[in-house]
Chains A and B, each alone.
Chain A
Amino acid sequence: MSTLFLIFPAQSACSVTTNCPSLCSLLALKYGSYVTEHPADVGVAITAFKGENGYTVSTPHGEQQTDTPLSVIDRYLFGIADYAPTIFALHGAAVEWRGGAYLFLASTTGGKTTLASYLTSRGCAYLTDDCILLERETLLVQPYTAPIQLRDGGMEVLQKYSAVPDGVQILQEGNFLRRFVYTPAHCAKQAVPLKKIFFIQRNECENCLLPMNTNERMMSLMQAPITNYTVTGDYLRFLSRLAKADCQILRYCDMDFVKELIQNG
């Protein structure tokens, strides 16, 4: 029996106790350095026991029989994620270049991960793949360097750019979850000031930047959180402040256009 502790930045820690070594390996592969065996205070304790008929995953919300315990645990953790009130958590990827954080916001399968992976292969430091932790007061972006998880399509794109990362492992669970997983060699080590926010739109033929007026920025930012924040006047005041940052729509068909944009202005 093993207990692993998942300690993510700006969130409550949780533990997973399991009798299955391969689940331990999958957890380590998925969450990287945020998984430890060193005991920590946890808000949530999960158990995942392997039996003759699959796994029994128990959380404070109930018990579930499954063949895909990692997916069940990940969905559960996503659902209960409670970010520190000082943090604004956005659904996006981010890289650091010369002391500034560049944010790429898009919905799932919008190209964030592939872009972040490519940019880190071209000299940018990795900040995050999926969840941007922005400090509300200072607008610093905290590193959240869980392993990058590329889909098949993303890996194919990187192959075309000759930018396949080193040390890639395959994370696979059942027929549904299959990712190429790695942690970039060059990760940001400390919080980085926000430099630009790009609302990315991948396409087949166009590279351009489009300006956004303040209302468009606010409305786009309202769509961007990774979790459901209650909209209040104070929340909108924060978004109004954030909207004063350099926000643009970035349409790209060539990731080198994005690289040039960041590295050469």
Chain B
Amino acid sequence: MDRPLQDKALQYKILTAALHSGRDISLTVTGISMNPLMYEGDCVTVRRADTYSVGDVLVFFYKGEILIHRLLKIQNGRYFCKGDNALRLEDMTSDQIAGKAILLNGQSLPQMPDTTVALSYLVNRTFRACGYNAKITKQSGIYRFYHQILWKVEDKTMKYKKNESMDYIPSDETSLAVFDPETGDTHFFDETGIDILTILDEPCDLETLLEKLCEIYDATPDGIRSDVEEFLAKCIATKVVEVL
């Protein structure tokens, strides 16, 4: 009779050996950390790769556990992963990575937009800034915004505001450079971006923002909603806009 393997390290060794041989391996998901993409009992097909990219869902060995979490950042040879529905960031070297998920229940894995990946990372930074207090983190604007995108639910109480700690460098009515003194990053905005950021000089909810934009442009709120939401997500991911 087969005995279930209790030793996770041994399981991981067998898994990596199998993947190194070039075979794809199927694993069963446990837990909720990758909800809503993956649920308990789902079947994930894993394949070894030479390189991994931000946004990939990786299978790796971390603190005695085999985890399936998303790669959010690569820096100085270290890989930083986090469950989509989790707060903790796991950092590792490439030799801790077994492979990446290529199929979920036999279907291709949907890609997470770069902006959502960046927001997921910011959620962890917020978790850290909140002293690793999950309750306080979940009350933060960034978590609520990310949660809204991840679960596709609308939170009408959220307000957005231009981040005053950025350095705003207008060139003319068509060009605005926004410099982040903390990261050294520069972000550029065109006329439409400038109009949105001007409205966000004052805290503003999405509906009010859409209404104000429709006063400027010949558009309807529902006609521009998805574009504005995407713009907001990018601005929040780059910290140009804060969620209040």
Contacts and interface: CB of A to CB of B under 8 A. Distances in A.
A219 B188 contact: yes
A236 B172 contact: no
Given A233-B167, A236-B179, A237-B169, A218 B188 contact: yes
Interface in B161-179: 167, 169-172, 174-175, 177, 179
Given A218-B188, A222-B186, A236 B174 contact: no
A214 B171 contact: yes
Nearest to A237: B169
Contact of A240 (B171, B181, B190): B171
Interface residues of A, number: 16
Contacts of B64: none
Nearest to B176: A215
B91 to A, nearest CB: 27
Given A218-B188, A219-B188, A231-B184, A243 B175 contact: yes
B104 to A, nearest CB: 38
Contacts of A178: none
A236 B175 contact: no
Given A218-B188, A219-B188, A222-B186, A233 B171 contact: no
Contacts of B175: 213-215, 218, 240, 243
B188 A231 contact: no
Given A215-B174, A219-B188, A222-B186, A240 B179 contact: no
24 contacts: A213-B175, A214-B171, A214-B174, A215-B175, A218-B171, A218-B177, A218-B188, A219-B188, A222-B186, A230-B184, A231-B184, A231-B186, A232-B179, A232-B181, A233-B167, A236-B167, A236-B169, A236-B177, A236-B179, A239-B177, A240-B175, A240-B177, A243-B171, A244-B172
